[in-house]
């Protein structure tokens, strides 16, 4: 998730991660403890750039990180070739058509590398030779057993169950690998949902679980229409009246559709109009 810290919060995090006191930071950087305490408390707004440079070098972070221009602590410029990104991938990341902060949360998940490796194994069919070898061995064993009992030899009681088990043991490469991919992706999705849950639940209207409660709301609205001579000229007005009774803050269907599907286009048109 997008989390923007103040300079003071960043400095405190960097210091506590290293197990240092403010006095120790002061001694090691040459910045007085009083000034440094002011920085951590976001009380000193006129900090000289030389002090910021000194702290950035000491904590091994870029000055832009302390100044709030970036949330990345990486101090060196990374060559794009090191990330192995194509031009098209870079264009997608820069397009603003998706939530890149959400993408970061997914990438940072402990199962993400396993997910990508599973996809890699699937699309490049890296497991196919091994799976086919196992399947062929099972088929050979199955045919051998069937041939052994083909000349009217008495079969064990569990013969049919054993043959059925061997048939079911044969692995379908496509189904098996897609299942593992879905399993890992679902785990990442569940954990990311939990990560965001505390921040978004407050914006979600309370669900009405009781039919009686909903019926009561509807009857109350109908009474209002009759007793107060309320005239509803459109379905949107009916929805707004019902939402008010249920203490819900919702947008009209048209506004909701516009927000969902046309926000990006509106933003782009606004950007173009400024140029």
Residue 173's pLDDT is: 78
Q: How far, CA to CA in Å, does 141 sit from each of 67, 159, 165?
A: 69, 13, 12
d(CA 114, CA 136): 28
Distance CA 66, CA 71 (A): 9
What confidence score (pLDDT) does residue 112 get? 92
How many CA atoms within 13 Å lie on the side-chain side of 81?
A: 0
Q: What is the pLDDT of residue 262?
A: 58
**In this structure, what token pair is assigned to residue 135?**
């399947």
Give pLDDT, residue 251. Answer: 56
Question: How many other C-beta atoms can be found within 10 angstroms of the C-beta atom of residue 7?
Answer: 19
Dist CA 47 CA 24 (whole Å): 19
Distances, alpha carbon 134 to alpha carbons 87, 126, 127, 164, 170, in Å: 41, 14, 11, 17, 8
Phi-psi region of 201 (alpha: psi -120 to 50; beta: other; left: phi over 0): alpha
Q: How many helices and strands (H and E) does the chain possess? A: 15, 0
Question: Which are the contacts of 162, defined by CB distance < 8 A and separation ≥ 6?
Answer: 145, 156
Give the pLDDT score at 111.
92
pTM for the model stands at 0.47
**Looking up tokens 């059925």, which residue turns up?**
164
Q: What is the mean pLDDT of each run of 10 residues along the chain (275 residues)?
A: 77 92 91 89 74 86 79 66 83 88 90 90 82 80 78 77 76 81 92 81 59 78 79 77 72 58 51 48
**Residue 88 CB coordination number (10 Å):** 8
């Amino acid at each position: 998730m997008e989390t923007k810290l103040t300079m003071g919060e960043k400095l405190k995090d960097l210091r506590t991660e290293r197990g240092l006191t403010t006095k120790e930071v002061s001694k090691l950087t040459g910045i007085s403890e009083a000034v440094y305490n002011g920085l951590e408390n976001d009380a000193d707004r006129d900090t000289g750039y030389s002090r910021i440079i000194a702290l950035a070098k000491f904590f091994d972070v870029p000055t832009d990180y302390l100044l709030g221009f970036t949330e990345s602590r990486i101090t060196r410029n990374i060559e794009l070739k090191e990330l192995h990104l194509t031009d098209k991938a870079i264009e997608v990341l820069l397009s603003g058509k998706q939530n890149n902060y959400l993408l970061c949360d997914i990438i940072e998940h402990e199962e993400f590398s396993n997910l990508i490796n599973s996809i890699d194994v699937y699309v490049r069919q890296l497991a196919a030779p091994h799976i086919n070898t196992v399947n062929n061995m099972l088929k050979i064993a199955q045919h051998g057993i069937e041939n052994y009992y083909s000349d009217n030899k008495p079969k064990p009681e569990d013969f049919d169950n054993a043959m059925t088990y061997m048939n079911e043991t044969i692995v379908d490469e496509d189904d098996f690998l897609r299942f593992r991919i879905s399993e890992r992706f679902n785990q990442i999705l569940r954990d990311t949902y939990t990560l965001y849950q505390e921040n978004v639940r407050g914006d979600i209207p309370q669900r009405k679980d009781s039919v009686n409660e909903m019926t009561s709301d509807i009857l109350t609205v109908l009474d209002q229409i009759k007793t107060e001579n309320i005239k509803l000229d459109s379905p949107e007005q009916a929805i707004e009246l019902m939402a008010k009774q249920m203490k819900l803050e919702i947008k009209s269907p048209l506004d909701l559709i516009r927000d969902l599907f046309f926000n990006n286009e509106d933003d782009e048109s606004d950007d173009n109009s400024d140029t």
